[in-house]
Every structure is written in C-alpha cells, then in structure tokens.
Amino acid sequence: MKELEIAKTEVVSLLNTLIKEYKVFAPVGQNGFITFQEIHSGSEAFLDYINSKKPPKEIFFPQSERLFSYDLSKGEGWSVEEPASEKKQRIIFGIRPCDARSLVLLDNVFDGQLYKDPYYSGKRKNTTIIAIGCNQPSSTCFCTSLGGGPFSQDGSDLILVDIGQKYIVQVVTEKGKKLAKKHNEFKEAEDNSLSLMRDTIETAEALIKSKIEVQKVTEKLDSMFDDPFWDLVSEKCLGCAVCTYLCPTCYCFDITDEVTGQRGERVRTWDSCAFPNFTLQASGVNPRPSSKERLRQRIMHKFNYFVANHGMAACVGCGRCIKECPVNLDIQVVLNSILNR
Amino acid sequence: MLNTSVAIRDIAKKLLDEKRVDLIIGFEKGSVPLRSTPCFVRSTSEADRLIWNVNCENNLAKYLPKTKERVAIVAKGCDVRSIIGLIKENQVTREQVFIIGIPCKGMIDRRKIEAKLDGKEIIEAEEKDDTIILTGNNLREIIKKEEFLHNSCKTCTHRNPVIYDVLIGDKVVEDQAVDEYREVKEFEAQSHDERWRSFSDEVSKCIRCYACRNACPFCYCQECFVDSSQPQWIGKTTNLSDTAIFHIVRAFHIAGRCVDCGSCDRACPMGIDLRRLTKKMEMDVKDLFHYEAGISLEDMPPLATFNPDDPQEFMMV
Ligand code: SF4
Ligand code: SF4
Ligand code: SF4
C-alpha cells in the first residue's frame, strides 16, 4: 500500500479516538526517564524521546505474571483458576523500531513452531504495533549491525517517519492497513513529503557509526567456549540483572508458587543468567559457578546459540545495557574484543 | 586531574616492577561520555590505561572479597572506609592491600546531567577545572561540577582517605558545615502514613535487578537471603510486599557497616533513593552506639559486640 501521512497536530486526537476502542500503550515520562504505560488521554504520550528505560517487552511478557491460582482448601473439590484472557484489542503507539524488532525475536521463543505460550501469544495476537522511526539515533545504538535500522519495519504494523510538521506512515501489514483505513486522520502522502521521508531515513542511517560484523562474532564464538578471554572480560561484572532485565530480547524466566495456607498462585517472573541460582541444580551443583560462566552464557546465547536455533542474533542493538550497566561493561566493546581475538 | 592519572600509573608500574603486588585495581576510560570503568592491571605494559577523573564513581573495594592476590587499589575517601570495614570483617587483610589513596572533591552524577538536558544527547564531555564542557547534537553547555555531584558526595564528611599506603595529591578541605542527616530528619518528621507512602512509592519502582546489592562492598554473603530457595524467604515478584522486604532487610543487614559510599544509589537503573534507608541506619548507629563505620581499624563494630550497658530502648518487648 502507498504511504500515508498524518499531521503532528492530529496525533493527540487520533490517540483519543483509539483509546475509546483499544487499550493504548505509549511512551510516558520526563527527564529522560520514559516507560511504556497505558494512556487514558492522547496528550499523555511523549513521542519526542530517545528510547524507554524499560523495554516494552513487559507488555507481552510482564516481569511478574500469574499463570493460575489454586485453592486446595475444599479437599476433593480443589479448583484451579486461570486468569481471564484480555479481550480488548491493544495498540502500542510510538515504539522504537529496535523494540518492535525484538518482538519478532521473542516470537521465535513464545509463539514459534515448537512451542506456543498462550499468555504471550494471546497478547501478541490482539496488539497492533505502531512504531516511530529514529531521526536521531543515540550514540549507543547499533541496530544496523543486527539487521535492523532506525526505520526497520520488522515487527511493526505501521511505522511513522517524522519529517517535521507531519509523519509519513508506512503501511507494513494487513493489520496496519485495516487500522489506517478506519481513521481519517491518515491521508494519502504528498509526493514532496515522500522525498523528504527518503532523505530523513538516509540521514538517520548515516548517523549510526558503529558497525560490528556480528556474523563473524557468531563464527568466532563457535570455538571460544574455553577461551581465557571470559576470565578477563567478566572480571568487573557485578552479576546484577541490569543488562538482562532492561534488554528487550532477554526472556529467561522462573516459575514459583506463592502460597498462603491452602491457596496459592503460580507465578512466572523474569530471571537472569547473571544470577547465582540461575542454573543451580537440586544437587547443589552449579555449572555456571561464577560471573565468568554467566557472562559467557549471556554472550553465547545471544550471538551463537540463538543464531543456531533461530537464524538470528538475540540482540537488536538498542544500547540499553550499555547505558545502564553500573560498571560500564559495554557489549559493543565485548563484541569488538571477540573479533580481535 | 591529569597529574593524578600520571601519578597513579607511576606508582602502579613501580609496585608491579618491584613485585609488591600482583594486581592493580583502578579505573580506565569508559566507553561513553561521563563514564570511567573498573580496570584490572597485572603488568606494567597495561598500566598506562589507568586514569583518574570525576567519573571514577564505582567503589572498587567491591572487588576485594573475591581476590586471593596481593592488590593495590585506587581508593577515594569513602572507598577507603569500605576497605577498613572489609578488613575488620576479615574479608581481606591489611597486609594484602596496598591503598593508593586519593583525596576526593566528589564524583559526578551523570543522571542528574541527563535529566537537566532532557533528552539531548552528550557526545563528548571534557573536564576543565571546576567545570565540565558538554558537547553533542545541538548542545554545547558548560556546567559546574559542584552542582551535579552524587547525593552521597554532597554530604560527605570524609573526603580524605583515613588510611593509605600512598596518598596522591594534596588533602582537600573537609566539609564541616554540612548537615549530613538533614534529609533523614525531614523524613523522620513526617507522619507514619506519609513515610510509608513515600517509602512504598520509591520501592515500587524496583525491578529487583539487585544492582544495588551487588555494587555494595558489604554484600558478599555466599548466599543472599533473596536467593535462598530452601527455605524461600521472599517471593520473586515485583509486588510491593516482596520489594519492600528486600529493601528493609538489606538496610538492616548493613546497619553499622554502611559507610554511605553511595554505590547502591549510583548502581540503581531506576533512580530509587536507596540512601533514605541506609542513611537512617547510619544515623541511628551513630546516635545509639557512638560508632561511625570505616573510620578506624581498632574499634569494634557495634553489632559484632555486646556491652551490658548497650542502649535497648528501641527493642520491642
Ligand atoms: S554486565 Fe553490567 S549490567 Fe550485566 S550483570 Fe554485569 S554488571 Fe550487571
Ligand atoms: S543485548 Fe543490549 S543492545 Fe542488544 S538488545 Fe539487549 S539491551 Fe539492547
Ligand atoms: S538497583 Fe534499583 S531496581 Fe535494582 S534491585 Fe536495587 S533498588 Fe531495585
């Protein structure tokens, strides 16, 4: 479908209309501390941001999620109750292309050929993704090394390109097309807007200076499991979960029961390969006893194992882990050191 | 500042050359503006990576409990206080560490700068005397260092290392006038409900990444209570009941040990004011036991000792 356009002045009213029909999530916040929240008025959305602090993955894969509750107090008549599935259609408005792309990666895990996680895929199915491309990528962004880009369409249904007074709207999927057709704020794009759009995209792509040959990293890692490199690179790592919890593509989880008397809930919570009990076995043995094995797991999983399993690296180059690591253990530095090994 | 870097490199080379230590723990240039990063040097050829600037905010004492080597460590006032604590807790011996002490005028809080710029990105930050020159896209700004110090640096009363093997640079003037417990007292003055509300607002931002715990030099337990699964002391969720317990127990466990280096506060990606509880603990220990952690190698930590006349008004009977 041909590109559409929407005036920036129309965005708030569009959001207000969407809110009536959908549950709408958008970036909100200030002072560089942005998170995705459900909004109740179009003016709450803050679209002029670099990227959110927490990744929007939690809209599909919350940090704590009740899988079901049970009640054993009635003996024979014990009961299990599943959470009601979300009926209302949802929209994420203003997600960055890297984060939209992270959903494609997560689909491999939670909504793939082999396994379908009903909690994730249910939410995924009823959500329309409207992304906004990045005119001004951050210095820590390296999406183009991972097969994405500041205007990558992967994972989006519609993607907006900011050309000043208005957004050009690229229609990526049928779902996106349906939504755009329903709302008359979207108009057919003018020709001169389209050339502005192409310039904008080109300029933004050129701003991303970092180029990492990720395919070579993957190949190198094949034979690096026992490399002394891991001792050196992990020396400063604190073993916290900043890098994994804030990563849009990390998906490891734990399942525990929260029990009060005869009643309980089974909950799924995020877990991290950096933690001491991540692979702690019932025998007491832990095959990943120190930060060396744990950091190695993080890098190997993202850039080698995931590639073998799904044909792509489990990183979208958003740079969150670089910005937030308390000791500045920079994943780009790690990848470049691997290449230099 | 530059001279400090050079002096650190010289002493590092000397110590390694003379085989007095196996390892130097210091800082090197970080990968992004306004950051330095911990650096481990084992040969003289690597020593030129070492630097010193206002972004050397990490507390390197964190790395001491792990090591078996003889270590020289670059340490600010608060870091030295942590080292004293670790020596007293038998996590490292005085003989094992060579302290390269550095009098400190405070470290810069990059998040405060970022908040001021509201989204504008810094591409380069250059330290010049008492200012930092920030440049970026549509950005050129000169800011005063003292306006962007970490909160713990603003109330610091021990900028000069209390013990050291070598001191680099001149001692700085200690701030005698600052009321380091002003915020704690303001907090205490609030009603019970207000305190609970602001505490729960704060900890409900927590994502339980444990960066605060792991950045703390005194969190070195083999198994932290939050990680225990048999028994499981605390749930794994981010519900208020779980996050609140984590924060309250953590604060109690460092009572009488915390030196207010601010490491936990700096590490938190969610901007949670962790010093609200730790500073309160510190003040109470001072009031009740006349003890300040990390000031002397001789005095006994109040919670590791018992006196028949210990105050006990706070105990519940
Ligand atoms: S790399 Fe950084 S963020 Fe990740 S676990 Fe280590 S210290 Fe934490
Ligand atoms: S590994 Fe880092 S850069 Fe890659 S997607 Fe995760 S947070 Fe973003
Ligand atoms: S660093 Fe912050 S977010 Fe992480 S566990 Fe500590 S208080 Fe929570």
**Tens-place pLDDT, residues A290-325:** 999 999 999 999 999 999 999 999 999 999 999 999
* Residue to mutate, A232, A233, A240, A321, ligand 1, most ligand atoms under 8 Å from C-beta: A240
pLDDT at position B308: 87
Pairwise CB contact (< 8 Å): B36 & A332? no
Give me the residues paired with residue A64 across strands.
Answer: A269
- The ipTM is 0.95
Q: Of B223, B210, B231, B229, whose CA–CA distance to B274 is shortest?
A: B210
Q: How far is B218 from chain A (nearest CA, A)?
A: 13
* Ligand 3 site, residue B207, Cβ cutoff 6 A: yes
| Chain CA centroid to CA A301, Å | 16
Span A124-128, average pLDDT: 95
Give the B window 99-158 contacts with A, CB below 8 Å: 111, 114-115, 117-119, 121, 123, 137
Q: How far is the CA of A327 from the centre of ligand 1 (A)?
A: 7
pLDDT band at B317 (very low <50, low <70, confident <90, very high): low
Q: For ligand 2, atom 2, which residue shows the shortest CA distance?
A: A321
Pairwise CB contact (< 8 Å): B115 & A275? no
Q: For ligand 2, atom 5, which residue shows the shortest CA distance?
A: A315
Least confident of A59-63, B48-52, B178-182: B178-182
pLDDT at position A78: 84
Quick one: tokens of B141?
């700004």
The DSSP code sequence of A306-336 is HHHHHSS-S-----HHHHH-TT---HHHHHH
Rounded CA separation A4/A167 (Å): 9
Q: How far is B139 from chain A (nearest CA, A)?
A: 13
* pLDDT over 90 at B305, yes or no: no
* Beta-carbon pairs below 8 A across chains A and B: 115
* pLDDT over 90 at A249, yes or no: yes
pLDDT at position B316: 63
Pairwise CB contact (< 8 Å): A326 & B227? no
Rounded CA separation B163/A32 (Å): 40
Alpha-carbon dihedral angle through residues A278, A279, A284, A288, given to the nearest 10 degrees: -100
* Ligand 3 site, residue B267, Cβ cutoff 6 A: yes
Span A87-116, average pLDDT: 96
Nearest chain B alpha carbon to A242:
B209
Type of residue found at B19: K
Nearest chain A alpha carbon to B115:
A31
pLDDT band at B2 (very low <50, low <70, confident <90, very high): low
pLDDT band at A85 (very low <50, low <70, confident <90, very high): confident
Q: Determine the atom of ligand 2 nearest the C-alpha atom of A319.
A: 3
Q: Of B212, B209, B295, B223, whose CA–CA distance to B257 is shortest?
A: B295
Rounded CA separation B208/B238 (Å): 7
pLDDT in tens, B128-138: 999 999 999 88
pLDDT band at A264 (very low <50, low <70, confident <90, very high): very high
Collapsed DSSP state (helix, strand, coil) of residue A72:
coil
Q: For ligand 2, atom 8, which residue shows the shortest CA distance?
A: A318
State the average pLDDT for chain A: 95
User: Which is higher by pLDDT, B296 or B308?
Assistant: B296
Q: How far is the CA of B265 from the centre of ligand 2 (A)?
A: 23
Cα B272 to Cα A181, B29, B185, B201, distances in angstroms: 44, 26, 19, 9
The DSSP code sequence of chain B is -HHHHHHHHHHHHHHHHTTS-SEEEEEEE-SSTT-EEEEEE-SGGGGGG-B--TT--S-GGGGTTT--S-EEEEE-HHHHHHHHHHHHTTSS-GGGEEEEE------B-HHHHHHHHTTPPEEEEEEETTEEEEEETTEEEEEEGGGGB-HHHHT-S--S-SS-SEE-SPPPPP-SS--TTHHHHHHHHS-HHHHHHHHHHHHTT-----HHHHH-TT---SS-TTT--TT--S-SS-SHHHHHHHHHHHHHHTTTT-----HHHHH-TT---THHHHHHHHHHHHHHH---TTS-SSSPPGGG---TT---TTS--
Rounded CA separation B258/B282 (Å): 7
Pairwise CB contact (< 8 Å): A139 & B207? no
Collapsed DSSP state (helix, strand, coil) of residue A114:
coil
State the average pLDDT for chain B: 94
pLDDT in tens, A19-59: 999 999 999 998 778 999 999 999 999 998 999 999 999 99
* pLDDT over 90 at A106, yes or no: yes
Chain A residues close to B58, C-beta within 8 Å: 326-327
pLDDT band at B310 (very low <50, low <70, confident <90, very high): confident
Collapsed DSSP state (helix, strand, coil) of residue A3:
coil
pLDDT at position A155: 97
Rounded CA separation A305/B43 (Å): 35
The full set of domain ranges for chain B reads 2-109+149-169+177-304, 110-148
User: Which is higher by pLDDT, A230 or B68?
Assistant: A230
Rounded CA separation B212/A238 (Å): 10
Q: How far is the CA of A200 from the centre of ligand 2 (A)?
A: 25
Collapsed DSSP state (helix, strand, coil) of residue A102:
helix
Pairwise CB contact (< 8 Å): B214 & A239? yes
Nearest by CB to A31, from B39, B115, B214: name it.
B115
Q: How far is the CA of B83 from the centre of ligand 2 (A)?
A: 34
* Ligand 1 site, residue A32, Cβ cutoff 6 A: no
pLDDT at position B217: 97
pLDDT in tens, B80-99: 999 999 999 999 999 999 99
Rounded CA separation A111/A103 (Å): 10
pLDDT band at B67 (very low <50, low <70, confident <90, very high): confident
- Buried/exposed code over A222-257 (b: 16+ C-beta within 10 A; e: otherwise): eebeeeebbeebbbbbbbbbbbbbbbbbbbbbeebe
pLDDT at position B117: 87
Span A178-193, average pLDDT: 93
